[in-house]
Amino acid sequence: MARRLPGKIGINTQLTHGGYEPSDYFGFVNPPVVHASTVLFPDAATMSSRGQKYTYGTHATPTTDALTQAVNELEGSAGTILVPSGLAAVTIPLLAFLSAGDHVLIVDSVYFPTRRFANTMLKRLGVEVDYYDPHVGAGISALMKPNTRVVLTESPGSGTFEVQDIPAIAKAAHAGGAVVMMDNTWATPLYFRPLDFGADISIHAATKYPAGHSDVLLGMVSANEACWPKLLEAYTNVGCCAGPDDVYQVLRGLRTMGIRLERHQKSALDIARWLEAQPGIARVLHPGLESNPGHALWKRDFSGASGIFSVVLDGGGQAQSHAFLDALTIFGLGYSWGGYESLAVPVLLGDRTVAKGPSEGPVIRLQIGLEDVEDLKSDLSGALEAARLA
């Protein structure tokens, strides 16, 4: 039984109560973690018609329903699927909307595993793949072909943080008959709702901020009403569903995501501004900074920033990059973000074909966690000194 909440509520109230139906499970605050594949039917007629809410574990359970309901409320979407990883959240919608002979446009600053999937599996399946400059905006209309079926966006890009003009891209793509997908992992639906800006599909690595503790792999894909049936069909046919414990962990993480993101945002902006003034730094790639080329677009469309950005070292190469990374003691070296701990990784740009990225020196991506800001600044100071000496 659905609860009745006030018509207009704040985001943290929404996060706390989304998918929250204690009356459906005997008053317990959290939903049950349903470990099940088989669902029994009361009789043959019900079995033949599938005339009950749950029919098999891959389709839905009370656990998955709780999370998808919460996400649909956050996204303003017609439906959401849950998959085992953030990468699966990219690949399944691409498979859903692309066939042999189709053309896809992918932003050149895209998450590398997405590029690898496009350059290997999509091409092998007969899909034509092209990359475009993240700053193209409405100019993407010139890149559209009669067989362009999908335009994939990622804003900001997760390595160099270019901000895309999503409304302009969506308008041009829709005029050419293409579906617009956006990887929105950086902002989450708290700070940007892709469907409100013209995208048809919103993609998230729930491994990051929704989970929040670096202990879960999960992906979420939300669709508008027009695209939901096709996305659901592909999801059902592929059978790529998330496990119940992971789903529960993400739902639990969702409850505190708002207050965690506030801390990530505040600390990251503080450190980004401080880094701009440090010797050894050529540029700080954070769209929330007034100096960033994408700042005006970010300020127009986004309501906040998360805790991940990159810095460009002032000269040097791999030796300086490694010296910087190896000198860190609080920052860990790990390929993820969105957890409570700070991380650093080198950003490799050699795969790009259109938007080559910064050239002044090595690019380092920083995930700013929940530690004390002054401790993180001290750690970064030592790393900058090590890079200078190298």
pLDDT tens series, the chain, 390 aa: 445 666 678 888 888 878 778 788 788 888 889 999 999 999 999 999 999 999 998 999 999 999 999 999 999 999 999 999 999 999 999 999 999 999 999 999 999 999 999 999 999 999 999 999 999 999 999 999 999 999 999 999 989 999 999 999 999 999 999 999 999 999 999 999 999 999 999 999 999 999 999 999 999 999 999 999 999 999 999 999 999 999 999 999 999 999 999 999 999 999 999 999 999 999 999 999 999 999 999 999 999 999 999 999 999 999 999 999 999 999 999 999 999 999 999 999 988 999 888 889 999 999 999 999 999 999 999 999 999 999
Judge whether 19 lies within some domain.
yes
Strand 308-313 with 363-367, pairing: antiparallel
251: nearest Cα among 120, 40, 64: 64
Residue whose entry in the numeric block shows the structure tokens 């609860």: 3
Judge whether 3 lies within some domain.
no
Provide the domain limits for residue 140. Answer: 11-254
Q: Which residues contact 280 (CB under 8 A, 6 or more apart)?
A: 313, 314, 384, 385, 387, 388
Q: Are residues 153 and 205 in the same domain?
A: yes
Separation of alpha carbons 277 and 377, rounded Å? 12
Six-digit token string for 322: 């490694």
Separation of alpha carbons 100 and 121, rounded Å? 11
Q: Residue 13 has what pLDDT?
A: 83
CATH code, domain carrying 333: 3.90.1150.10
Contact 212, 260 (CB under 8 A): yes
Task: Count up the domains in the chain and report the number.
Answer: 2
Cis before residue 156, ω within 30 degrees of 0? yes
Q: Residue 387 has what pLDDT?
A: 97
Q: Are residues 270 and 190 in the same domain?
A: no
- Decide which of 254, 269, 290 is a domain's last residue: 254
Q: Are residues 241 and 261 in the same domain?
A: no
Contact 201, 83 (CB under 8 A): no
Q: Are residues 237 and 265 in the same domain?
A: no
CATH code, domain carrying 100: 3.40.640.10
Contact 255, 284 (CB under 8 A): no
320: nearest Cα among 376, 378, 386: 386
Q: Are residues 327 and 374 in the same domain?
A: yes
